Structures are given as structure tokens and as C-alpha cells.
Chains A and B, each alone.
Chain A
């Protein structure tokens, strides 16, 4: 087994080297072309929308909620607590609920990469049998399992992050408008790009990650007619290693930077670290994803290149959900966590985009007001 793994790795590494060689050949010409074409100043072709007078933040009704009789079950996707991505965000939401609402007992269980579908069912069933309620399934991989388990426990509340295909009265979908947050990331990228040339690195080519790409591209093109956008995915659908392969992220981001891109946005989970490192060594900038990556301890070495992060507030959604369960008011949850409820957004830590915050707020307002509609599918 060991030897076989080694062989696989070697094969992958070899393929990687070949790809790299191919890219390196292209990059020379492309980089020059971009250098000629994209001069400074003529990149932004669209007038920025007026900034709203006051950034209208909904102040949440922070009444005291007592959730001490809730026992929360948290079923993680591959990676679990400590993945610095959406599992961690969900965990943070539960932790906050514990602190602020006194949630009683909680349990956690993490999926393994190669587990069979019925292990997911077993996990959810086990939690329900032990009396946990609500039970939050993190990740759309739980959709099928939830479809089977939820009807068997009609009195238990379930929630699932990133999926709205489960139709059961006791299942609450927690889905996000990733494309709206990514739209603002695209706007920020173009405003900060010197070459008028930006990049997108997706982890795995799935419909979910394509939403990030779609929003980013639309945001960039809303600002500029002549922006060049590099778009790459680390692995095809079904090969989840793309979310956990910083080496590949580095190689792909480096090739984009060599082609002339100077702001790279990643939606690649733990592979993002490689993207940041490539940006640092290539003198480029990068945009993080999911949580405020500038503040993440594991990334402190490369934080200088992180100008902003597209925030996907899984923690907010999880917290709000637990709160709604405690108040027995699930109807109050938004159908989709979007810009209007701060379910997605952007981070300003590090102060690298302070100068364009009015622009971003302007676009944000337009999206909330419906003047700009962001599509969640990639065109072209």
C-alpha cells in the first residue's frame, strides 16, 4: 500500500511538472502582451456607483436567548474542526452560541475522505438517537444522507450548509449567495490591479465553486471592459484533493502571475495557502475566501499579500439557526444568506482596500437594491 501511494504521488508530481513546463513556455509571450496592453489608468471603464450615505448595518435584535436545553450535533465534512475554512466557520458559530446563549451539550463528528454514504447516515442517525437537536450537517455531501435520515426523526431539527435540495419539513437549508460576495472581490481585484489582469484559482471544479468564479468575473467585467481574467481549477469534479493541495495551488497561481495577473482570488480551501505564497514570491496580491484570512494564524507569514477576503459567514448562519431553533422561530431565517443580511461580504483587515471601500459599498448597495443582478453560473 505504502509503495503504491508513493507511486501515485510520483505520477502526480510528474504530471504537475509537465503542466508547469507547458505553462512556463506560454507565459513569456503572454506576460509581455499583458504588459503592453494593460497600461495604468485605462483599466477601469465603468463609473463607480455612488457610495451610500451611511453604511446601513442591520443591528441585530440582541435580546437574550436562552438555549441551555438545546443539545447541538455538528456533523462536519472532510477536514473537520481546524480546516481554516468552512468547517471551522461552522464550529465558530456553535462556539459563539455556546458562549452567548448557553447551549448545553454539543457533539461533533467528522467525515472521512473515503467513507461510504451510509457512514454519513450512521453519523446523523447516531446523533439523533442520542437526543441531539438541532443537528447541523456541514456540506452538501450530506444531502443524500439527510434525505434518508430526516423523515425518520420528524421531531428533530436538522440544518444543512450549502444545500437546498432536501425537501423535508424538519430540514433547514443554510445556503449563501457566494456570487454576490465574489462580485465585490472582482471589483476590488480590478481596482487594485496594475496590469489590468487578474486571476481566479478554484479548488475543485464543482457547481458550488463555479458560483465564486461567476461572481468574480461579473464583478471584474462590471468595472472594466478590457480586464483580462485567468481562470483555473486545481482538480476536476470528484477529486476533492484540490481543496487540500497547497503545492498545486502554488503552481497554478504562479503560472497565472507569470502570465501577467497581479491579483489572484482563490476559492480553494486549504490550497489557498499555496496561492498566497505564489503571490508573495511573485510580487502580486491575493484575495482570500470564506473567512478573514488576513487574521488567520496559519497564514501570518503571507498576510501582507492578502488585500481582502470574500467572507462567507457560515458562522453567522449557524449561529442564527441555533438562535432561531431556541426561539422556535425558524421562519425568521433568510432563504439565502446574501449581502443584504451580511451572510456574505468582504474583509478590510490590513487596510489594503480602505481607499476603495466607498466603491465597494456602492456596488454592494446596488446589488442589495436589485439594480445589479449577479448570476450564479459562469457565462463564456
Chain B
């Protein structure tokens, strides 16, 4: 039973609790919480911060979706981190080597990214299905291995190019870029925002409107019941893991095709881990993940903005940590409160001398 209360209340509670806790931290460090929160809000109206926030949220959204697909099947794909970095470096190399007409070039890069991401998730999937090896262990190990793979591939002896003291892949020709949406002084929105929205919509459609989505959720909630219903758990695990990897392959694409055009040694890491937090915040719901991604990106931007009023950037990290922690707790509390309320309702109804109706929560 999922009322609006169970869906909306916990995140709001969590954010409020995080705000209180970080106010305490701010007071202890000698800063004015109101000024700090004011600065965080005001940053959105300054320069390109608002657009930058949406751009970053695009990346986080894809990461959140990739993790959420696994969560639906009770798979903890920590390997999103490794999968997206592997896909990014392979796509950047292939994209830099290809010479194709505009739209085709971009599509080719995206396809390479999707397949590379899925490929990097293939080994954990096979091990899980055939040997029952925990995907948590295998994907963590593959996350470490990807460091070596990226370092090897972008080495100037292989596919890399030396740029000053940095090493990166060869630059992708403009035909392979995803054009941005210029918004004047406010900055340039990644064209990939639309891509992310499309992936989100596809995710929602797959889960709620297809047989596959139903089977996926069913096997996630009760593998035995699903098996009794004729759903092959192995097939589901395999597909979910590969889909998760495929979406993970897209994570780096907004930045690669929209801004950087190369994958460098200094490219950002950790989007996969952020994706876990974002998926948790969004409760695996496509709209929830979008809000979680925006919130997370906003807090990341705040870390830099807060420094102009001499507030340490760690405050933003404290807020992020508290939110994740309290979201989990808040869901549990609201769930129990709901359950208790329901029991009372059923109890009241049965004291009236008749069994509770289905609408009141009684048995069918």
C-alpha cells in the first residue's frame, strides 16, 4: 500500500532534518546558517550555476537510473562506477577515430558506449547466474580493474594524446558532438538532457507497461513467487544486470559529447557511487530519481558557492550524507506509522462486530 504520504513525506522529513543538522554544524563552525542557506539559494540566479546544476543532474540522473534498474531486481550493482568509466574511455577512443556524418557519428558513439557498459557488466552477470557469485564482490573488483584499463588505454603509447601535463584520448570531431541548447548568459544546457529524459521515460514504460517490467519487479520482490509464476530468475538477473550496465555506459556521454570531447586522465570519477545515493533518494522511481539528482547537483554546486562566504565546503557534504541517512530512516518510520494506522483502522472496524472490508485493509 503506497499512499502519497509514504512517497513524499520521508524525503521532505529527511531534507528538513538535514537542514537542522547542518545548521548546528554551521553554528558550531561559527557561521550564520541563514546566510549560508541564502547563499545556496542565491547561487541559482548567478551566472551559469542554474544551468550547470541541471547539466550535472543529467549525469547523476543517468547514474541513478543505472543503479535503480539493478535495485528493481534486488541486484546491488556497485559496478556502475567501473562500467561507466570503461564505456567512456572506449566510446571516446572509438569516437575520436571515426569519421562519420553528424547524426550517425553521435549515434555510433552512443551505441558503442551502451554496448561497452553492458559488456563490462557481463562478467559479473555470468558469474552471478552460473555460479551464484555475489555481484557486489565482482563489480567492486572490476571497479578497481577499470583504473588500470583506463590508464593503459589513454597512455600515449596506446590511444592517448599528451596535452601539457595531462593525457587524454584524441578529440572527437564536431560531427560526433551532441549540440548544446544555448540559453544566452545563463550558459549552455547539455543536449543530452533530452537523452536522459528519454531514458527515464523508457525506464518508466518498461517497468509499468511491459511484461518484462512486471516480471522484473516480481522477481525482485519475491523470487520464489516469480519462479512459481514461470519467470526465469536467471534470465531476469542477466537482463537486469546488462541493462544496468548499458545505461551506466551513457553516464559520461553528456559531458563527453557536450563539453569535453576527450576523456582525460583527470576526468571526474565517482559518478557511479553518486548514482547509488541518488537512486536511494528517488526510491527507484524515475521522477524521484530526477529530483534526487537535481538536489544532489545543487548541493555539489553549493559546496563551491559557500566558500565565497568562508563556509567550509564540507558543510555541503554533511548535508548530502545526512539526507541519505535520514531518507532511509524516515521511510522506515513512515512505513511503520502507516502500518500501525492501518492496524488500528482494521481493529476499529472489527470491534464494530463485522469483518473489515477490503477497502479498510481487511482480507479479501
Interface residues of A, Cβ cutoff 8 Å to B: 1, 4, 7-8, 11-12, 15, 107-110, 112-119, 121-123, 125-126, 129-130, 140-141, 143-144, 162-166, 205-208, 235-239
Contacts and interface: CB of A to CB of B under 8 A. Distances in A.
Contacts of B137: 7
A117 B304 CA distance: 12
B144 A11 contact: yes
Given A1-B273, A239-B147, A112 B313 contact: yes
Contacts of A116: 56, 59, 255, 268, 300
A297 B55 CA distance: 43
Contacts of A107: 307-308
A163 B163 CA distance: 9
11 contacts: A11-B140, A110-B313, A113-B269, A113-B270, A116-B255, A125-B48, A126-B304, A129-B46, A140-B164, A144-B260, A237-B167
Contacts of B110: none
Contacts of A119: 300-301, 303-304
- The residue in B162, B265, B301, B308 that gathers the most chain A C-beta atoms within 10 A of its C-beta is B265
Given A7-B140, A122-B305, 17 more contacts: A11-B144, A12-B144, A110-B313, A115-B300, A116-B300, A117-B259, A122-B301, A123-B307, A129-B47, A130-B308, A143-B164, A163-B165, A163-B166, A166-B164, A207-B166, A236-B148, A239-B147
B165 A140 contact: yes
B157 to A, nearest CB: 12
Chain B contact residues, majority secondary structure: helix
B36 interface: no
Interface in B2-58: 46-49, 52, 55-56
B205 interface: no
Contacts of B152: 236
A271 B265 CA distance: 20
Interface string B277-295: 1000000000000000000
Nearest to B306: A109
A51 to B, nearest CB: 34
Closest 10 CB pairs of A and B: A165-B164, A236-B151, A114-B270, A140-B165, A237-B151, A239-B147, A208-B165, A163-B164, A109-B307, A141-B266
Interface in B163-219: 163-167
Contact of B140 (A8, A115, A164, A236): A8
A236 B277 contact: no
Nearest to A80: B313
Contacts of A121: 52
B78 interface: yes
Given A8-B144, A236-B148, A143 B265 contact: no
A155 B49 CA distance: 22
Contacts of B277: 1
Given A1-B277, A7-B136, A112-B313, A205 B55 contact: no
A282 B355 CA distance: 81
Nearest to A12: B144
B163 A114 contact: no
A72 to B, nearest CB: 15
A239 B78 CA distance: 18
B264 to A, nearest CB: 8
Interface of B: 46-49, 52, 55-56, 59, 78, 136-137, 140-141, 143-144, 147-148, 150-152, 154-155, 162-167, 255, 259-260, 264-270, 273-274, 276-277, 300-301, 303-305, 307-308, 313, 324
B218 to A, nearest CB: 27
Contacts of A113: 269-270
Contacts of A110: 313
Contacts of A144: 260, 264
A206 B165 CA distance: 8
Contact of B147 (A117, A141, A206, A238): A238
A229 B353 CA distance: 91
A113 B303 CA distance: 13
A242 B263 CA distance: 20
Given A1-B276, A112-B313, A122 B49 contact: yes
A110 B148 CA distance: 27
Nearest to A141: B266
Nearest to A207: B165
A267 B274 CA distance: 31
A112 B303 contact: yes
A235 B147 CA distance: 9
B314 to A, nearest CB: 9
Contact of A122 (B52, B150, B151, B268): B52
B308 A118 contact: no
Nearest to B141: A11
A121 B51 CA distance: 13
Contacts of A123: 304, 307
A78 to B, nearest CB: 10
B163 A165 contact: yes
Contacts of A129: 46-47
Contacts of B305: 122, 126
A118 B162 contact: no
A118 B269 contact: no
B292 to A, nearest CB: 14
A155 to B, nearest CB: 17
B164 A206 contact: no
Contacts of B167: 206-207, 237
A320 to B, nearest CB: 20
Nearest to A127: B308
Scoring B46, B49, B165, B276 by chain A CB atoms within 10 A of each residue's CB, the highest score goes to: B165
Contacts of B267: 117, 238
Given A15-B144, A115-B300, A235-B147, A143 B166 contact: yes
